[in-house]
């Protein structure tokens, strides 16, 4: 299994939409954070390719500005 944290920068005033991220299959949990990023999504999937797919799916959401993935080894 591959564990990752996907850090997400949201568009202004879209924090209510962020909870849609945790409904994406493979995302186990997530919450709003303060700082450079606005939301942290925790992912637990079988492969690194699946992390990429989830990250790209999140990035395509209209209320998302930028994503960055941190992979646990």
**For 2-71, which CATH class?**
alpha beta
pTM, two decimals, is 0.93
Instruction: Tell me the average pLDDT across 54-68.
Output: 97
Average pLDDT of every residue of the chain: 96
Q: Angle at Cα 10 formed by Cα 38 and Cα 60, nearest 5°?
A: 130
| Sequence spans of domains, the chain | 2-71
- pLDDT tens-digit series, residues 25-40: 999 999 999 999 999 9
Instruction: Tell me the average pLDDT across 27-54.
Output: 96
Give me the pLDDT at residue 73, please.
Answer: 75
Query: Any idea how long the chain is?
Result: 73
């Amino acid at each position: 299994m591959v564990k990752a944290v996907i850090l997400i920068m949201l568009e202004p005033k879209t924090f209510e939409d962020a909870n849609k991220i945790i409904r994406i299959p493979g995302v186990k949990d997530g919450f709003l954070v303060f700082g450079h990023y606005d939301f942290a999504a925790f992912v637990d999937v079988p492969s690194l390719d699946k992390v990429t797919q989830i990250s790209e799916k999140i990035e395509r959401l209209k209320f998302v500005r930028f994503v960055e993935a941190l992979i646990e080894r």
